[in-house]
Amino acid sequence: MEKVKPLLSDGTLWIPGSYSSFSSNYDSLFYFIFWLSVIFTIAIVGVTLYFSFKYKRSESNLVAKKQIVHNNKLEIIWTAIPFVIVMFIFYWGFKDYLYMTVSPENAYEVRVTGKKWFWTYEYPETGVKTVGELVVPVGRPIKLVMSSTDVLHSFYIPNLRVKRDVVPNKYSNLWFDVTQEGIYQIFCTEYCGDQHSNMDSKLIVKSYEDFLDWMEEQKRGASKDVPLDLLGKKLYKEQGCNSCHSLDGSVVVGPSWKGIYGAQRLLADGSEVKVDDNYLRESIVYPAKKIVKGYPNIMASYAGLLSDREINGIIEYIKTLK
């Protein structure tokens, strides 16, 4: 089992642990700017305090003996030195930015879709689709082609120092490689609605051999031997259902799953419907067809993301929630 890389206990006070080939460059630039800022802050505040006390007005020094209004040498120095420093930082940052932006030719491509409020991943070479878990091989450059189906999102992996906005009706790209196997946090860092804080995901990094085995399991349907209700319980979190549907009767974004099977639901158009297998399947595949009264029409369709058995598993799990 892969070890989860903690954000707080692994790394430094300022930034979490670093696990990509270019994250050390990012960290070096960060600390260079940080310590440069500390040095200049101490120097400026120190000089200011020194002159404030040395030349403060007193009974023996009521009027300044001399007032300097112009000094070409001093002005050239305090303009030239910051200019050189800033241009050096620009060169360093832009060089690394280009490296982090242009993906290698051998990068493994994954398509990422942001939805309120979860991430979906599709592997074009195999047709495998996942929700909430991005699985990649260690050491291999990974290129993400990202888009959004609704609002602006932002894809961020702190341990790899990569972040990019995900925009509706447009593709954005980023790439990364990971130097160590494990599980890493993925966040959305652009406020996208009231469940924004729940729009997290996992980056699971495996050895190349384990990645190939995982891919084969996904293509065969590794969940075929799992009892349907347990499969549905597993999918409840993996597919992001927990972002909008509670299990204890509490109201979140969507209706709670507790005790809904067999109940009558009042719809937004004033009609009623019984919650049975057909209604639940339709709500998963075509969620906009029948909206429960009092809830917004914001659920994304899972058509093509779930197999028939996975849909059946979710339905059977709902049946157990009395």
User: Digits of tens for pLDDT over the chain (322 positions)?
Assistant: 456 666 666 778 888 888 998 888 889 999 999 999 999 999 999 999 998 888 888 877 777 777 778 889 989 998 999 999 999 999 999 998 888 888 888 899 999 999 888 898 989 888 888 888 999 999 999 999 998 988 999 999 999 999 999 998 888 899 999 999 989 999 999 998 888 988 889 999 999 999 999 998 887 765 556 788 888 898 888 888 888 899 998 888 889 999 998 899 999 998 999 998 889 989 999 998 899 998 888 888 888 888 878 888 899 899 899 8
Regarding whether 86 and 145 lie in a shared domain, the answer is: no
**Residue 1: its pLDDT value, please?**
47
Residue 80 — left, alpha, or beta (φ > 0 → left; ψ -120 to 50 → alpha)? alpha
Q: How many structural domains comprise the chain?
A: 3
Domain end, chosen from 85, 101, 117, is at: 101
Identify whether 199 is part of a domain.
yes
Chain-centroid distance of CA 163 in Å reads: 8
Position 64 scores a pLDDT of 74
Q: What is the CA radius of gyration of the chain?
A: 28
Does residue 4 lie within any of the structural domains? no
What is the rounded CA–CA span in Å between residue 121 and residue 199?
14
45: in domain: yes
Same domain flag for 244 and 261? yes
DSSP state of 107: P
For residues 269, 270, 274 and 277, what is the CA-based torsion angle, rounded to 10 degrees? 0
**Sequence-separated (6 or more) residues with CB below 8 Å from residue 72:** none
Q: Is residue 260 part of a domain?
A: yes
295 and 255 in contact (C-beta within 8 Å)?
A: yes
Cβ 83 vs Cβ 118: under 8 Å: no
Whether residues 55 and 124 fall in one domain: no
CA pair distance 230, 39, nearest whole angstrom:
58
Residue-range definition of the domain harbouring residue 264: 225-319
Note whether residue 12 is domain-resident: no
Q: What Å distances lie between residue 99 and 12, 32, 106, 185, CA to CA?
A: 24, 19, 15, 23
Among 50, 75, 101, identify where a domain stops: 101
In a domain, 305, yes or no: yes
CATH code of residue 240: 1.10.760.10
**CA–CA dist 266, 261 (Å, integer):** 14
Compute the distance between CA of residue 155 and CA of residue 166 in angstroms, rounded to an integer.
7
Alpha-carbon distance of 185 to 4, in angstroms, equals 8
Whether 90 and 175 map to the same domain: the answer is no
Residue with tokens 């300097």: 68
Given the structure tokens 């910051």, which residue do they identify?
82
Q: Which amino acid belongs to residue 283?
A: S
In a domain, 9, yes or no: no
User: Is residue 301 included in any domain, yes or no?
Assistant: yes
The reply to whether 193 and 209 lie within a common domain is: yes
Could you tell me if 262 and 276 are in contact, meaning their C-beta atoms sit under 8 angstroms apart?
yes
Same domain membership, residue 249 and residue 305? yes
- Report pLDDT for 191: 93
DSSP state of 189: -
Looking at residue 21, its pLDDT comes to 87
Q: What pLDDT score does 271 carry?
A: 92
Question: Are residues 114 and 196 both part of a single domain?
Answer: yes
115 in the same domain as 93: no
Q: For strand 133-137 and strand 128-131, is the pairing parallel, antiparallel, or unpaired?
A: unpaired
Examine the fold and report which residue of 220, 237, 264 is the final residue of a domain before the chain moves on: 220
